[in-house]
Structure 1
Amino acid sequence: MEDWHPEALAAIADRLGIAFDDITPPCARRFSCKDGLSLNVLDWGGSGPAAVLLHGGALTARTWDYVALALRTDARLLCIDLRGHGASDWAEDYSIGSHATDVLVVLDGLRIERSRMVGMSLGGMVACEFALRYPDRTESLAMVDVVSRPLFGATTRMRAFMGGFPGASTVEEVVAMVLAVSPKSDPDRLEYRMRALLKQGHDGRLAWKCDLRYRGASDYAVLLHHLAGFEARVPDMAHPFLLARGGNSRVVSEEAADDFVRRFPDGRWINVENAGHNVQEDNPRDLAHALEVFWARTM
């Protein structure tokens, strides 16, 4: 399926109050990892400092489209399809370490020495792991709605929907399915998201663009254990840190946000109002502004 829908993107961005001048599509680039896996990267161009944006589990690099429109004149934005997601290859190894190494492959391939790191949910874990492993390649770290002890139980309904998805004939059919269980969702933004998340399978029906083989209870236990392990590691991080919590998030409480940020030598956190877990889609204007302010402070 074609991922680039500029008219829909521009209309939604305008309605969300996002100021933008350039609606040209990002350049799709591919990078090969040592294990032979191929990664897809959306390079939004620009001459500013590099910033890597990493999506959450079961999402794709396109989840950053609204934010990228707002920030593309201020930074060289690189939105990566994590392995097993979007147009990147599926793999047998989905460890956080392997994801972090993939980011390094992209930066090396583009000859970028240092980058601002931004990640939402799973992408936030990867961004944090990268910053800890490769401090000399990191300018700053921003994590979006993920902390060391999140309430992943709040995502049960969403994960059940993804795992039990029977396929569909049209995107509109999928949108109707989601609206049936989440009637307050914005239909236009929902359709834009689904066009990025779905692909046509061998049987002609639509299926997810992600590998759901490793999303059982044991795999979430591994993720939670890795997240908790950050608590002992981040006190040594010298980079500026920002946690952007969705103001309506059920995954990250304010108490958990405050506890996690206190462990960083140079950390702060904010609430992004009118946003749930998917902050970058729920309120991209305010998230983009928060990143601008954060980056300006770290220059």
Structure 2
Amino acid sequence: MSAAPTWFSDALATPYDRREVDVEGARVTYRAWGEPGAPVLVLVHGGAAHAGWWDHVAPFLTAAHRVVALDLSGHGDSDRRDTYDLETYAAEVLAVAEAEAADTSEKPCVIGHSMGGFVALTAGRDHGSRLTGVCAVDSPVKQMSPEARAWRESGRNAPGNKVYPSREAVVARFRPLPADGATLPYVQDHVAEASVREVEGGWTWKFDPRVFSGAQMEPEELAEAVCPTALIRGERGLATTDITTTVAERLGGHVPVTVVPGAGHHIMLDQPVALIAALQCLVGEWRRPPRP
């Protein structure tokens, strides 16, 4: 693994709890940092990703929260389903949040990256009265996710992923899509190592290729949520100004948009410190008592 700064190493060394819940017949795994009983903040990964994409971010959000990162079904260590859709993913997010919110009456927050942002927006649309706020991080509404596009363009129609002869071989093939020169190598190394699993005949990726069938969201599917909504995008990300403007309008127009300079689509890989700062401010504002 490439040399990493102290803040990153300390974050990965932060202990967390491994837990799971059953949602509509599928086992959904998650990890949780911070004190039980604190308000819950759920972090949702993108398509073909997993909870480990948040390992270096979550510990910095625990000052006032129980921070949870789940593996959506078909991803990471969670079970697979026959089909996938954003509504089911949103139900998984709510189930995980409620499992960790047993000791608090405060409503959870949901933050999602890329396809996970579609999940967050769906949760806000369908369950907004049960949430404090939702945020989509570089989620290109109306566009196919880069992972789904690459899969379809590859011409592969097999139900499974390619199997590689060794762990080293498959890890070496890991590439965030779209590629961006700003990606920090030590973050990519950590994410890649946690993205593979051993199967008969070798090693392969943890995600189910069928997740790509539900990896898109149209503006018509958006609706103003009861809870506050925010957008974050990378300077070179896929959620362009046109997209975020359209999304903000569909959500009622009063939606803050934060642009992270120097970042592409995968902001937590490119500019994680800036993302952490933006999320700290956002959730702090959501938790601020209303003015009299």
TM beyond 0.5: yes
2:32 corresponds to 1:43: yes
In the alignment, the residues of structure 1 paired with residue 97 and residue 215 of structure 2 have an alpha-carbon distance, to the nearest angstrom, of 25
SS, match of residue 193 in structure 2 = helix
- Structure 2: stretches of 5+ with no match in the other structure: none
2:149 corresponds to 1:156: yes
- Structure 1: stretches of 5+ with no match in the other structure: 1-7
What percent identity do the matched residue pairs reach? 24
Please show how residues 61-140 of structure 1 align to structure 2 within 5 Å: 61-110=51-100, 111=102, 113=105, 114-140=107-133
Please show how residues 17-56 of structure 1 align to structure 2 within 5 Å: 23-33=13-23, 35-46=24-35, 48-56=38-46
Distance 1:193 1:92, change over 3 A: same
Cα deviation per residue 1:9-35 (whole Å; 9 max; x = unaligned)?
9x6353xx66967833311101112x3
Cα deviation per residue 1:53-111 (whole Å; 9 max; x = unaligned)?
00001000000111113223342101010011111100113111111111222233232
2:200 corresponds to 1:207: no
In the alignment, the residues of structure 1 paired with residue 155 and residue 45 of structure 2 have an alpha-carbon distance, to the nearest angstrom, of 16
The alignment's TM-score, normalised by the length of structure 1, stands at 0.80
The alignment's TM-score, normalised by the length of structure 2, stands at 0.82
Distance 1:183 1:150, change over 3 A: closer
Query: Which of these residues, 227, 235, 238, is aligned with residue 247 of structure 1?
Result: 235
Query: Which of these residues, 246, 266, 269, is aligned with residue 278 of structure 1?
Result: 266
Distance 1:13 1:128, change over 3 A: farther
Cα deviation per residue 1:132-157 (whole Å; 9 max; x = unaligned)?
21122100111011143236469734
SS, match of residue 84 in structure 1 = coil
Q: CA RMSD in A?
A: 3.0
TM-superposed CA distance for 1:191, in Å, is 2.2
Corresponding residue number in structure 1 for 2:4: 12
Greater fraction of residues in helix:
1
Corresponding residue number in structure 2 for 1:189: 187
In the alignment, the residues of structure 1 paired with residue 120 and residue 76 of structure 2 have an alpha-carbon distance, to the nearest angstrom, of 18
Corresponding residue number in structure 2 for 1:258: 245
SS, match of residue 38 in structure 1 = strand
Equivalent pair of 1:54/1:124 in contact (CA under 8 Å): yes
Match of 1:202, as an amino acid? Answer: E
In the alignment, the residues of structure 1 paired with residue 186 and residue 116 of structure 2 have an alpha-carbon distance, to the nearest angstrom, of 25
